Structure 1
Amino acid sequence: MIYIDQLQLLLSNEQVTTNAVLLEQHGKDESYHEPHLPDVVVFPKTSEEISKVLAFANENRIPVVPFGLGTSLEGHIIPYNGGISLDLSLMSAVLEVRSDDFLVKVQPGVTRSQLNKELKKHGLFFSVDPGADATLGGMAATNASGTTSVRYGIMRDQVRDLEVVLANGDIIHTGGLAAKSSSGYHLNGLLIGSEGTLGVITELTLRVYGIPEKVVAGRATFTTVQQAVDSVVALKQAGIPMARIELVDKRSIERVNATSGTTFAETPTLFLEFHGNEAGLASDVAFATELLDDNGCLDIQFEQDERNRNQLWELRHNLAYTYIHSAPKKRLMTTDVVVPINSLPEAIENSRAKIESLQIDAGIVGHVGDGNYHIILMVDMNDSADIARAKQLNEHVVEFALSLGGTCTGEHGVGVGKAKYQQQEHGLAYNWMKQIKKLLDPNNILNPGKIFID
């Protein structure tokens, strides 16, 4: 294609490639969605280079899809219209740590683990923990959250400022360094979660936190999901500052035991974590234990040793990969809905009933502190009946969540997988979202086909 030669003139030959392996790598993510190759992969090194690429693409109506590490789960980075896959991996510097302000400035290709390794030298850490070692640019683009959101908030809560390149090549900032502002529209909130459809994030200024003096993790077992969720509500009502509250259902615990050699009780389980100082934490743990017992807890075990704590959370984080390794010829599919916390037992039991009626082998896990839960299953992409069952389950779970006043996605984002639910969830506001897209990207070059199905 002639435009590839023109891109090489804008950048350099080594930054523009049509290598078959790289095209394939940039044509898929970790989801079950159908892959599609880009025309070309571009590796920019600066915001100015991205500005040149976008201005050129906008003038020539060439689609541009930003790419981080490809860990997304709803097809966000799959270039269904071909065009340019804009790989930001060369923009991976931690630019500035402002420890006294509890801020850090990074490029979009920095990963969560890379950032925390650097912050540890300053006694700080970045809180958003989606499990996968995703890039921070990608995490902002999908408004990621994870296990720690119950205490520290989601990605949108951590972003103080973004540098963004718009479709026409303009470079803007969406915030500043101040802790609060009443000036102008909240552009951070607009760009975070926009999945590369409104602009390309090229720099992030993020809130960070002091590493807690003491951390205690725990594992509490229950007879029913209802008891487990009632315990979560009780802990939150009591004001205990939980850092993580994760639900893992009976089927998932069975899968963990089978693949990891553990001997956990195979019953609904809460994985808990407390952050604080030694004196305060002892009081919090004692109070939490009383509340858990009052709500039917069968057994609770605490871990203070860092190695044992890390092992506990590795099991939780790697649960999806446990399913992947158990069925190497299938593709991972995870649902991702949020419901009001009080409706969570009803929603989970409804999902389990649908799983059984469809005869699907699946586990349920959730960030129950904020009502977010996932069903994890493997899909045979060569079996149309298997695909149909998986899609039927996903649709049922989403429809039920929406009927409860919930949302079709709590952290994975819309991509292509949840696009068909946007009108139903947002109503008239969906039409105004499309107007914003048209205003900022009139030629529809930025990640076309994502979020908006039309």
Structure 2
Amino acid sequence: MGIEPHFSRTTDKAAINRVCDRLMSRFGERFMTGQSVREQHGHTTTYLPGEWPDGVVMVNSTEEVSEVVTICHEENVPVIPFGSGSSLEGHLNAPYGGISVDVSGMNEVLAVHPEDLNCTVQAGVTRSQLNDYLRDTGLFFPIDPGADATIGGMTATRASGTNAVRYGTMRETVVSLKAVMSDGTIIETASHAKKSAAGYDLTRLLVGSEGTLGVITEVTLKLSGIPQAIAGGICNFEDLESACNAVIMTIQCGIPIARIELLDSVQVKACNLYSKMDLVERPTLLVEFHGTDTGVAEQIELFGDIIAEYGGSDFQATTKPEDRTKLWTARHNAFWAGCGLRPGCKGLSTDACVPISRLAECVTETQKDIEDSGLIGPIVGHVGDGNFHVLLVLDPDDQAEIDNAEAFLKRLAERSIGMGGTCTGEHGVGQGKMKFMRDEFGPALRYMAAIKQAFDPNNIMNPGKIVPKLD
């Protein structure tokens, strides 16, 4: 893969042994070095090879994270944050060994302020856990990446998901953070005020930093009111271009749609098989509308007019929760459904994002590229944002197939960047997409490296991620 850190480092095995001894003395059974637990914390859900940490420590508080990082800082040993393990680009791998800091036990909702529409949670709280907790408040946390990720992990990777077209991404949702920096110092990045003009925006700097600048331990989040009415819908099209053009027109007309998801015909087939659905195997849009009863009815009518213009058919809308849940469950299981098209193979899930005006062009070119390459690659997407995903289903033991897939990934990144987009709309960079960072950012990449150097001069915070080695 040719993966390199932004500047080289080696890890002294004697130093790792000293750190392990100190952590064992301090945390007892909560510090583990067994092979199975290390593999679990270095695993990846893509074809990238796993690289295991030397030990895993289960922490319960910000202060304990600070203790761990301080010990590692003193011995120059890497620290790799771990939440629920759902990342897709090798974020959890430990290419230089080190200590995995598992924050899943930090799973308390610390405060909810309904009058301010915000809450503060520990990093190990999952999105579903938070929404269960909020159920009786009339509020909800809208960011929905599919996997039941932790809030800390979603913040670190700047996650978004199916609701982002209306409610935004983690970048817009995070109010402030508590984090442990590379020397063990605990900081808070901002107040809980709705806006501020004071100082550098450290909150936004840490959102999306993938653990390379610090370990996020607490997050204050904006919340939204549960809408009075929710309706879901589904329709299909003759081809992907028509479906994408319907999406573009929907967004450009200002319809405040909450979700608008694309599934190509291959993905629809996979969902039918995996989730026992009976959808028409054509390019399909899944949509959801939020608002008042009157507002939702108006949105449905306007959307119906738009899709009719682009040949959309079989449009069905429903307010029944069980019907909507069935559709969205199938959508959230798209990864496993796609993998089921080739039992025994592994899924390589990648994403790209382009300006909405280039969506149809980028998706149709990508579909043709998949076909011409002889790959199996269902396409799904949060297309209201111009963001779509390709799941390549590969034989991990077939090097020719892996090489073919890597060539496709390069073309996809170049295509999206060339259209004014990005190599990743929500999966993050990790190890897998470092090689595209030069093309996307050019000279700006040196300033990212300078920030990394300033925050983490010894390169112990999740090294080997985001910023490639610079000349």
Q: What TM-score, normalized by structure 1, do the two folds share?
A: 0.98
Residues 7-40 of structure 1: CA deviation (Å, up to 9, x unaligned): 233x321221112221111121212210011111
Counterparts of 1:93-112 in structure 2, within 5 Å, are 93-112=108-127
Listed as ranges, the matches of 1:423-434 within 5 Å are: 423-434=438-449
Residues 364-375 of structure 1: matches in 2 within 5 Å? Answer: 364-375=379-390
| Residue in 1 that maps onto 2:20 | 4
- Paired with 1:226 and 1:379, the residues of 2 have a C-alpha distance of 26
Choose from 297, 305, 311 the match for 2:320.
305
Question: Which of residues 439, 447, 454 is equivalent to 2:462?
Answer: 447
Q: Residue 413 of structure 1: SS of its match in structure 2?
A: coil
**In the alignment, what sits opposite 1:145?**
160
Deviation of 1:263 after TM superposition, in Å, equals 2.1
Which residue number in structure 2 is paired with residue 208 of structure 1? 223
The match for 2:52 is 37
Matched residues in 1 for 2:343 and 2:124: separation? 29
Query: 1:329 is matched with which residue: 338, 341, 344?
Result: 344
Q: Distance in 2 between matches of 1:115 and 1:269?
A: 31
1:67 Cα deviation after fit: 0.4
Q: Deviations over 1:370-424 (max 9, x none)?
A: 1001111222111111111111111111111111111000000000000011111
Q: Tell me how far apart the structure 2 counterparts of residues 245 and 326 of structure 1 sit (CA, whole Å).
A: 24
Aligned equivalent of 1:232: 247
Which residue does the alignment assign to 1:177?
192
Partner amino acid for 1:229? C
Which of 11, 14, 19 aligns to 2:34? It is 19
Distance 2:19 2:190 in 1: 35
Q: Which position in structure 1 is the counterpart of 2:14?
A: none
Q: Which residue of 2 aligns with 1:387?
A: 402
Within the candidate set 101, 117, 120, 1:86 is matched to: 101
**CA-to-partner distance for each residue in 1:142-189, whole Å, 9 max, x for gaps?**
000011000000011100010010001111111121111111111111
Verify: 1:199 aligned to 2:214, yes or no. yes
1:294 correspondence with 2:309? yes
Deviates more, 1:415-424 or 1:374-383: 374-383
| Residue identity in the other structure for 2:205 | L
Aligned residue in 2 for 1:164: 179
Q: Give the match for residue 4 of structure 2.
A: none
Q: 2:271 aligns to what?
A: 256
Amino acid at match of 2:101: L
Unaligned runs of 5+ in 2: 1-16
Contact 1:163 1:204 in 2 (8 A): yes
Q: Could you tell me how far apart the structure 1 residues matched to 2:217 and 2:109 are?
A: 12
- Contact persistence 1:131–1:146 (CA under 8 A): yes
Alpha-carbon shift at residue 328 of structure 1 (Å): 4.3
Alignment equivalent of 2:432, drawn from 407, 417, 429:
417
Question: Is the Cα–Cα contact under 8 Å of residues 19 and 71 in structure 2 kept in the other structure?
Answer: no
- Per-residue CA distance 1:127-147 (angstroms, 9 max, x = gap): 100000000000000000011
SS of structure 1 residue aligned to 2:335: helix
CA distance in 2 between partners of 1:305 and 1:446 (Å): 47
Counterparts of 1:71-82 in structure 2, within 5 Å, are: 71-82=86-97
State the secondary structure of the residue aligned to 2:301: helix
User: Out of 33, 43, 56, which is 1:28 matched to?
Assistant: 43
Instruction: Give 1:438's match in structure 2, choosing from 449, 453, 456.
Output: 453
Contact between 1:416 and 1:449, CA under 8 Å: does it hold in 2?
Answer: yes
Displacement of 1:314: 0.8
Shift of 1:65: 0.3
**Which letter does structure 2 place at the counterpart of 1:274?**
F
CA RMSD of aligned residues (A): 1.2
Do structure 1's residue 319 and structure 2's residue 330 form an aligned pair?
no
Does the 8 A contact of 2:120 with 2:220 survive in 1? yes
Amino acid at match of 2:146: G
CA deviations on 1:312-331 (whole Å, 9 max, x unpaired) are 11111111111234444222
What amino acid maps onto 1:136 in structure 2? I
Q: Which residue of 2 aligns with 1:341?
A: 356
Of the candidates 264, 269, 274, which is equivalent to residue 289 of structure 2? 274
**Is the CA contact 2:267–2:338 (under 8 Å) kept in the aligned structure 1?**
no
CA contact (8 A) 1:40 1:85 kept: yes
The worse-fitting range, judged by mean Cα deviation, of 291-300 and 171-180 is: 291-300
1:162–1:204 CA contact under 8 A, matched in 2? yes
Superimposed CA distance per residue, residues 72-117 of structure 1 (whole angstroms, 9 cap, x where no aligned partner): 0000011111110111111111111111111111000000100000
Amino acid at match of 1:126: F
The aligned counterpart of 1:217 is 232
Aligned 8 A contact 2:271 2:338 in 1 = no
The one-letter code of the counterpart of 1:155 is M
Tell which deviates more after alignment, 193-202 or 248-257. 248-257
Q: 1:136: which partner in 2?
A: 151
Alignment gaps of 5+ in structure 1: none
CA distance in 1, matches of 2:343, 2:92: 22
- Contact 1:31-1:72 within 8 A present in 2 as well: no
Partners of 1:121 and 1:31 in 2: CA distance: 38
Give the secondary structure class of the aligned counterpart of 1:160. strand
Once residues 257 and 43 of structure 1 are traced to their aligned partners in structure 2, the CA distance between those partners, rounded to angstroms, is 40
Q: Do the aligned partners of 2:189 and 2:203 also contact (CA within 8 Å) in 1? A: yes
Counting matched residue pairs gives 453
State the partner residue of 2:5.
Answer: none
Shift of 1:68: 0.6
Q: Distance in 1 between matches of 2:301 and 2:453?
A: 54
Larger displacement relative to structure 2 (42-51 or 149-158): 42-51
Please give the per-residue CA displacement for 1:336-388, whole angstroms capped at 9, x wherever unaligned.
11011121111111111111111111111111111001111222111111111
